[in-house]
Amino acid sequence: MATGVPGVYIISDSIGETAEMVVKAATSQFDSGKIEIRRIPNVGDTDTIDRVLEQATEAKAMIAFTLVLPELKEYLMQKAASAGIITVDILSPIMEAVERSTGLTPHREPGILRKVDEIYFRRVEAIEFAVRYDDGKNPRGIMLADIVLVGVSRTSKTPLSMYLAHKRIKVANVPLVPEVAPPEELFQVEKGRLIGLTIDPQQLLSIRKERLKSLGLMADANYANENRILQEMEFAHRIMRRLGCPIIDVTNRAVEETSSKILEIYYRGFSHV
C-alpha cells in the first residue's frame, strides 16, 4: 500500500467479494478514495496470514476478514492482537446469530455461497438454452446440447426439456415430421446424448384432439387424424433406427418418470466413455 495512505487488507478463504463489498460500503462514509483496499483471496494456510500481517503492520493498516475455518480465524485474531492490528470479523456475528436463532449448525465450508450462485446460474443458463433450441428452432443447438430429444409432436419434448433444464442439463429437442428432412446434425450426435420418444398412437390421438379443442380448432384436423398419426409414428421410428438412439415410450408416464429414465441413459453413456 502507498506510504501514509490508510488501508484495509481483506483476507478470505474464498474470493473475498462479500468482505470487499462491506468494506467499500463502510469506507464510502470516510471519503473512500483516500482509503486503499487490498483483497487477498483463497487463503488456506497460516503462512499467507503471516505475510499479510507483516504487510499490515508495516502499512499501519487494519484487516477485515471472512474466514469460516475456525483454526485460521483464531490464528489470525491472536497474531493480529499481538501485533496491535485492528481486525473486523465480518461473517461470525451474523453466523452466530443465525445459529442461535435457528438451532442449526453452519457448514463452515469456504466458498459455499459462490457454489450456490454457480448452481443457480447454470440452471438459468440451461433454461435459456431449452427455450432457444426448443422444437428444432436452430439446428446449431443439437451440437451444443447435453441431451437431444427427438419425436413426433406431443411426445412431451418441451416439458421434458424444461424439467431437465432445472437440473442444469442443456436440452435441445427436434420434432420428426415426414415432410421435413431431419437435420444432418442429428447424425453427428454421440451415443448417450440422443434419445428418441414414442407414444401409443391412440393416446397421442386423444392428446392432439384435446390440444386442438384448447386452441378452438376443429378436432378432425389432419393433426389429429389417426392415419396421419400412424404415418408420423412410422416415419419417426424409421429415423430413430437410423440414428441408433435409445427410445423411451412416454405413454402414461409422468414427466418426472421419463426424465429419470433419460438421465439414466445419459449418465450410463458417460460411464462408457
Q: At residue 271, does pLDDT exceed 50?
A: no
Per-residue confidence (pLDDT) for residue 26, from 0 to 100: 87
Query: Same domain, yes or no, for 15 and 97?
Result: yes
Query: Same domain, yes or no, for 75 and 161?
Result: no
Confidence of residue 152 (pLDDT cuts 50, 70, 90): very high
Query: Same domain, yes or no, for 17 and 135?
Result: no
Confidence of residue 272 (pLDDT cuts 50, 70, 90): very low
Per-residue confidence (pLDDT) for residue 112, from 0 to 100: 59
Query: Same domain, yes or no, for 126 and 211?
Result: yes
For the stretch 52-81, pLDDT in tens is 999 999 999 999 998 888 899 999 999 999
Is 1 a domain residue? no
3-state secondary structure 63-129: EEEECCCHHHHHHHHHHHHHHCCCEEECCHHHHHHHHHHHCCCCCCCCCHHHHHHHHHHHHHHHHHH
Q: At residue 49, does pLDDT exceed 80?
A: yes
Query: Same domain, yes or no, for 95 and 170?
Result: no
Confidence of residue 48 (pLDDT cuts 50, 70, 90): very high
Is 2 a domain residue? no
Is 165 a domain residue? yes
Domain boundary among 110, 128, 162: 110
Q: At residue 219, does pLDDT exceed 70?
A: no
Per-residue confidence (pLDDT) for residue 13, from 0 to 100: 86
Is 30 a domain residue? yes
Is 232 a domain residue? yes
Per-residue confidence (pLDDT) for residue 1, from 0 to 100: 63
Cα separation, 163 vs 22, in Å, equals 37
Which of 22-31, 33-42, 106-115, 218-227 has the lowest average pLDDT? 106-115
Number of domains making up the chain: 2
Residues 146-170 have a mean pLDDT of 96
For the stretch 5-28, pLDDT in tens is 679 999 998 888 888 888 888 888
Query: Same domain, yes or no, for 123 and 151?
Result: yes
CATH at residue 18: 3.40.50
Query: Same domain, yes or no, for 72 and 197?
Result: no
Per-residue confidence (pLDDT) for residue 31, from 0 to 100: 67
pTM of the predicted model, to two decimals?
A: 0.62
Is 126 a domain residue? yes
Per-residue confidence (pLDDT) for residue 2, from 0 to 100: 59
Is 231 a domain residue? yes
Query: Same domain, yes or no, for 38 and 69?
Result: yes
Task: Tell me the CA distances in angstroms from 221 to 156, 202, 206, 212, 228, one per residue in order.
Answer: 21, 16, 13, 8, 10
Query: Same domain, yes or no, for 234 and 147?
Result: yes
Q: Note down the domain range covering 211.
A: 114-271
Domain boundary among 84, 110, 136: 110
Domain boundary among 94, 110, 126: 110
